[in-house]
Structure 1
Amino acid sequence: MAKNSGRRRKSGASSPRKSSKKPLWRRVITAALVWGIALAVLGAVFLGTAVFFTLRELPSFTALKSSQNGQMIVVRANDGSELVSLGPSYGKWLSAAEIPQIMKDAMVSVEDRRFYQHPGVDPLGLARAVWVSAVTGDGAKATSTITQQLARNVFLNNSRSFTRKAREGILALALERKFSKDQILELYLNKVYFGGGAYGIDAASRKFFGHPATTLSTGEAAIIAGLVKAPSNYSPTADVQASIDRGNVVLGLMAKNGAITQGEANATNLDEVEIAAQEGQNSVRYFTDWALPQLDMLLPETSEPIEVWTTLDPAMQKAATASIDGNVPKGTQGALVSLDRDGAVLALVGGTDYVNSNYNRATSAVRQPGSAWKLFVYMAALEAGYTPDDGVVDEPVTIDGWSPQNAGRNYAGQIDIRTAFAYSKNTIAAKLGQEVGFGTVASMARRFGITTPIDTNPSMVLGTSEVRLIDMTRAFAAVSAGGTSVEPYGIRKVTTTSGEVLYEHKSVRGQVLVPHYVAAGITDLLQTTVATGTGRAAQIGRPVAGKTGTTSSNKDGWFLGFSSGITTGVWMGRDDAKRVGGLSGGHAPARAFSDYMKVAVKKRPVEEFDTELKLPEWQLEPDDEYLQGDPEDYYYVDENGNIVEPGAGANGDQPIYEDGSVGPGPGPGAPPVMVDPGTPPAANDDFLDRATGRQGAQYDAGPQRTPASSSVNVVRPQSQAPQRQQSGAPQSILPQQQRQPQ
Structure 2
Amino acid sequence: MQDPTNPEEQPEGRKPRKRHLLLRIDSWIDSTVWNAGFRAAEIWEDITIFSRRFRARGWKRIVFELAGEAMTLGVAGTVVMLALAMPAFEATQGDWRNRGNFAVTFLDRYGNVIGHRGIIHEDSVPVDQLPDYFVKAVLATEDRRFFDHFGIDVFGLFRALTVNAQAGGVVQGGSTLTQQLAKNVFLTNERSIERKIKEAFLAIWLEANLSKKEILSLYLDRTYMGGGTFGAAAAAQYYFGKSITDVNLAEAAMLAGLFKAPTKYAPSVNLPAARARANDVLSNLVQSGFMTEGQVIAARRNPASVVDRAQSESPDFFLDWAFDEVQRLSSRFPQRTLIVHTTVDMSLQKAAEDAVESSLMQYGEQYHAKQAASVLIENGGAVRAMVGGRDYGESQFNRATKALRQPGSSFKIYTYSVAMENGMTPATTIIDAPISWGNWSPHNFENRYEGKVTLLQAITQSINTIPVRLAKEHFGIQPIREMAKRFGVETPIRNDKTIPIGTSEVTVLDQATAYSVFPADGMQSRRHGIQQITGYDGKVLYDFDRDEPPPQRVLSEKALSYMNTMLINVPQNGTGRKAQLDHGILIGGKTGTTSAYRDAWFIGFSGNYTCAVWFGNDDYTSTNNMTGGMLPAMTFKKIMDYAHQGIVLKPIPGIENPFPPQKPQTVAAKKPAPPSDQPVQPPPLRPRTLSADSTKILHDLGQKLREATPLNPQKVATAG
What is the TM-score of this pair, normalised by structure 1? 0.52
In 2: Cα distance, 1:189 partner to 1:546 partner: 45
Gaps of 5+ in 1: 1-68, 114-135, 151-184, 228-233, 241-262, 266-273, 613-742
Match of 1:605 in 2: 649
Query: Which residue of 549, 552, 564 maps to 1:508?
Result: 549
Cα offset for 1:342?
2.0
Paired residues for 1:438-477 under 5 Å: 438-477=477-516
* 1:564/1:601 contact within 8 Å kept: no
Query: Which residue of 314, 317, 329 maps to 1:286?
Result: 317
2:105 is equivalent to residue 74 of structure 1: yes
**2:623 counterpart SS class:** coil
**CA separation of 1:439/1:283 partners in 2, compared to 1, >3 Å: closer, same or farther?**
farther
Paired residues for 1:161-310 under 5 Å: 192-196=221-225, 236-237=261-262, 282=313, 284-299=315-330, 300-302=333-335, 304=337, 306-310=338-342
Match of 1:556 in 2: 599
What letter matches 2:501 in structure 1?
L
**CA separation of 1:191/1:361 partners in 2, compared to 1, >3 Å: closer, same or farther?**
closer
**CA separation of 1:360/1:238 partners in 2, compared to 1, >3 Å: closer, same or farther?**
farther
**1:583 counterpart SS class:** coil
Larger C-alpha radius of gyration, 1 or 2?
A: 1
Cα offset for 1:107?
6.7
In 2: Cα distance, 1:309 partner to 1:391 partner: 49
What RMSD, in angstroms, separates the aligned Cα atoms of the two structures?
Answer: 4.6
2:143 is equivalent to residue 99 of structure 1: no
Cα offset for 1:349?
0.9
**2:518 counterpart SS class:** helix
2:392 is equivalent to residue 354 of structure 1: yes
In 1: Cα distance, 2:405 partner to 2:343 partner: 26
* 1:371/1:549 contact within 8 Å kept: yes
What letter matches 1:590 in structure 2?
A
* 2:261/2:393 contact within 8 Å kept: no
Cα offset for 1:106?
6.6
Cα offset for 1:407?
1.6
Match of 1:534 in 2: 575
**CA separation of 1:326/1:203 partners in 2, compared to 1, >3 Å: closer, same or farther?**
closer
Cα offset for 1:439?
2.6
What is the TM-score of this pair, normalised by structure 2? 0.53
Cα offset for 1:141?
9.3
In 2: Cα distance, 1:317 partner to 1:455 partner: 33
Match of 2:452 in 1: 414
Instruction: Provide, for residues 229-260 of structure 1, a one-character-per-residue CA deviation record: whole Å limited to 9, x for no partner.
Output: xxxxx8653899xxxxxxxxxxxxxxxxxxxx
**CA separation of 1:369/1:608 partners in 2, compared to 1, >3 Å: closer, same or farther?**
closer
Gaps of 5+ in 2: 1-99, 153-200, 266-287, 291-299, 657-720
In 2: Cα distance, 1:512 partner to 1:303 partner: 35
In 2: Cα distance, 1:545 partner to 1:561 partner: 5
Match of 2:357 in 1: 325
* 1:281/1:355 contact within 8 Å kept: no
What letter matches 2:589 in structure 1?
G
What letter matches 2:324 in structure 1?
P
In 1: Cα distance, 2:586 partner to 2:131 partner: 67
Cα offset for 1:297?
3.5
What letter matches 1:383 in structure 2?
E
**CA separation of 1:484/1:147 partners in 2, compared to 1, >3 Å: closer, same or farther?**
same
2:616 is equivalent to residue 573 of structure 1: yes
Match of 1:394 in 2: 432
**Matched residue pairs, number?**
443
In 1: Cα distance, 2:312 partner to 2:150 partner: 31
* 1:99/1:213 contact within 8 Å kept: no
Instruction: Provide, for residues 106-157 of structure 1, a one-character-per-residue CA deviation record: whole Å limited to 9, x for no partner.
Output: 77667999xxxxxxxxxxxxxxxxxxxxxx9xxx99965459969xxxxxxx
Query: Which residue of 513, 519, 523 maps to 1:480?
Result: 519
In 2: Cα distance, 1:192 partner to 1:143 partner: 20
Match of 1:172 in 2: none
More relative contact order, 1 or 2 (CA 8 Å, 6+ apart)? 2
**CA separation of 1:199/1:583 partners in 2, compared to 1, >3 Å: closer, same or farther?**
closer
In 1: Cα distance, 2:378 partner to 2:132 partner: 52
In 2: Cα distance, 1:106 partner to 1:213 partner: 25
Query: Which residue of 511, 523, 531 maps to 1:492?
Result: 531
2:379 is equivalent to residue 341 of structure 1: yes
**CA separation of 1:413/1:509 partners in 2, compared to 1, >3 Å: closer, same or farther?**
same
Query: Which residue of 347, 361, 378 maps to 1:315?
Result: 347
Query: Which residue of 384, 405, 426 maps to 1:367?
Result: 405
